[in-house]
Amino acid sequence: MLSATDVGKIFDKTVVSNGSGTACSFGLDPAEKEKQMAALQQDPAKAAAAMVNGGKIAIPSAIGDQLALEVNVDRDTQTEAELKAAHAEIGKQITATNPSAHGLNETSQTAKDISGVGEWAFSINVAAVNMGMGVSTRGRMLEAKQGPWHLVVSVTIAPDPGEAKLDAQLADVARLVCAKLK
């Protein structure tokens, strides 16, 4: 349905595929990460200097980058209203547990409708975590409908590119999948 090359271009990262068909996932290429880590180990002084930037610690991309993308396509009859209501109920239950006390922000929020993807599409913020020192992670989902197909694209990504950019990236993934479902 999607290639690692397609996903890599959308997220500007080197990724590998961990499956195919109506359920597939993608992650960062471990060989790329190993190469970066080996370079850090070869010159520890340079690595230490790279981590300290104007008094702030910058995490090398080999340590801080994360991408876990899952794409699932199933036939079902769930409506947009039913799915939004289910997410709202989940959000209500999660919010009642005070997730911000555990460092989670914007937990389980239905964000917005996304145009130009299938018959309808919307995004949901699963959680955003800012751990300080420039380390941030976001989990987000996009749900869409194309004919009898229900598409769910979910991602956990670091560093957090922000909601607007991530929605655009998820929409690009969903458009590629929806084009193949027509």
pLDDT at 55: 45
Q: Which residue pairs, CB below 8 angstroms and at least 24 apart, start in 97-101?
A: 99/127
pLDDT at 65: 82
pTM of the predicted model as reported, rounded to 2 decimal places: 0.78
- At 25 the three-state DSSP class reads strand
DSSP assignment of 151-177, as one string? Answer: EEEEEEEES---HHHHHHHHHHHHHHH
pLDDT at 85: 86
For residue 112, give Cα distances in angstroms to 69, 115, 116, 123, 141: 20, 10, 13, 6, 11
Number of domains the chain contains:
1
Which residues have a Cβ under 8 Å from the Cβ of 98 and sit 6 or more positions away?
none
pLDDT at 33: 72
Q: Omega before 99 cis (within 30°)?
A: no
Burial pattern 147-156, b for ≥16 Cβ within 10 A else e, equals eebbbbbbbb
Domain assignment of residue 11, given as a range: 4-181
Mean pLDDT by groups of 10 residues along the chain of 182 residues = 92 86 84 73 64 51 78 92 84 66 58 89 80 71 94 90 92 94 78
**Residues 93, 122, 84, 17, CA torsion sign:** negative
